[in-house]
Structure 1
Amino acid sequence: MRIAVTGSIATDHLMVFPGRFADQLLEGRLAAVSLSFLADRLEVRRGGVGANISFGLARLGLRPLLVGAAGVDFAEYGRWLAGAGVDTSGVRVSDALHTARFVCTTDEEHNQIATFYAGAMSEARHIDLAEAHRRRTLDLVLVGADDPEAMLRHTATAHRLGIPVAADPSQQLARLDAEQVRSLVEGARYLFTNAYESALLMERTGWSEEEVLRRVGTWAVTHGAGGVRLLTVDRPPVPVPAVVPQRVVDPTGGGDGLRAGFLAALSWGLPAERAAQLGCALATVVLESVGTQEYKLLPTDLLASVECAYGVDAARDLAPHLDGPVPDERR
């Protein structure tokens, strides 16, 4: 399966505040907040949802096409992604703007305050997905958080060309209006949101959960440590528990890892429940590392996590695709 991942390409500046944001917020004074948090650690990492998901897919042995816009400073980042196995021929490189920046501070309870600077991402609206499809047929397009006009254009192009869409509006839901959100969701084969985004999506569209499900194939709703719920119209929800991490080092990028694992398993012809299980396992690998693309991925360790969380049958289904040993049913 040839997967195109559209979405942001960014540099992450990740800081850690050794306290609780909540302790600094004064009741009755939230209308005029002026705060500064003294961070005691800074990590500068590669990021962006499009790049992160593409990187995860490449780590799992696929060669995804990354579709997005980057800046004049992209050369080294581009070599990194290409070296990992990502096809970067779909990246538009601006001749004037810098690559987008994500600046995020995390407190001791893993709450986050972040700012995103779009930079060259604003040029993603000029990318024509149809050109990539003409060069080599696309079997699935994930439309991730990006320049809003680009998200709408890619969705419309994919539907016009008959390419299945995985809608993942995530951070951009807060910026999109009702009609835009409806356009991104309507007709998607897969829809990804976290629990808060689910409520926001329904508020924006005016649709109930059932009305959303009548318009999409499978809706994957992530609940952090609570795992994933797979929703499909006229069927009971399928809960998929999370893979418990040994230690959460950095929560940034866990959702991108989940999406990469989910899409990879789908490309192998596995059902949505198995896809969610692999996604949860990969998300945990990301959570146990600092940064969103610095994790090591060992098939044997990943399969061991899957077997521990979901049983030997799940590990056996995934093993042939991960080049790992097939678990012994007698264990």
Structure 2
Amino acid sequence: MAPDIRLLILPLPDFALLPFGAFLDKLRFSADDEDYSRQRYCSWTLGGLTGEPVVSSSGAVVQVAAITDSLALEGFDYLVLFGSRNAQATAGLAPRYKSLLKRAARAGVKLVGVDNAVFLLAACGLLEAHRVVVHWRHETEFRALFPHLQVLREQLYCIDGARITCAGGTAAIDLAVALLSEACGRARALKGLADMLVDETRDSRHALRSLEAGAGQGRQVQRALALMRHQMGARLSIERLAAELGISRRQLDRQFQASHGMSAKAWWLEMRLQQARWRLCNSSHGLAQIAEEVGLGDASYLGRRVRQRFGCTAQALRKAAHCGVPNNAVQ
């Protein structure tokens, strides 16, 4: 009996283990009638450009099979890529992976980018005219690199024809359920969720409560925080942001003082500086590019703000991260 769905799974160097393991285990539960891990109803192959083991960002190692030119890609329904936390490094893999990905697309295989693998698909020119979902932490960076692509805000995943993108994390479970539902039916797709201690699958447009402002904060503050995340790189004034919420700046500041102990402008600056610190520690982008991405003027201004907030230079922050110093050790 041929499986209902066949997947070629490629963990990229330094891939995140959580979405990879979550996605693969969901396939395993749905693949068999019992819990024997037999690939009956769905099958998968773990592949790589070479047969060398692939190391995850947590240090766990996965053995993969080498994908050779003789591999019949037509035998797969999906090619699923799992990206690393370093979006720029993942995009930089394009020269190595472009030939394989384009060959798969020509063979009618649907391409799936999980986590920052979406940067690789975009860098290979394989997301043109498609809607894209990106992890919220990397949305500003993605928009800066690929401004012509349509990014869907705060979605878990998007199935857009032959191109599928997923924000990563546990959203990989929800994406797996969606793909399995189409191929194997809803009942088989949901099999094993209880074993995974998952209550229910989530819709692609599910709003994460963890991204909300919190139970003690008003709806206007929640909406303001969402706008701040989405408009991080824009030169949007607090007055304009308040106007989009239908309130005055004074009202917005009062709500932020009540919930955060500071003005909306001060909170937005803190949000931008924290994002800039993350970029410094997890990318090789220059200070000027990071300043543009987070809406903090030029390199000189960002450098001054970083020094004021964290008590050291941007170079020192980056060096500390590369030397393995915990991020919270530099405040």
Do they superpose with TM above 0.5? no
TM-score range, shorter chain: 0.3 to 0.5
Answer 1 or 2: higher relative contact order, Cα 8 Å, separation at least 6.
Answer: 1
- Larger proportion of strand: 1
TM-score by length of 1: 0.39
- Larger proportion of helix: 2
TM-score by length of 2: 0.39
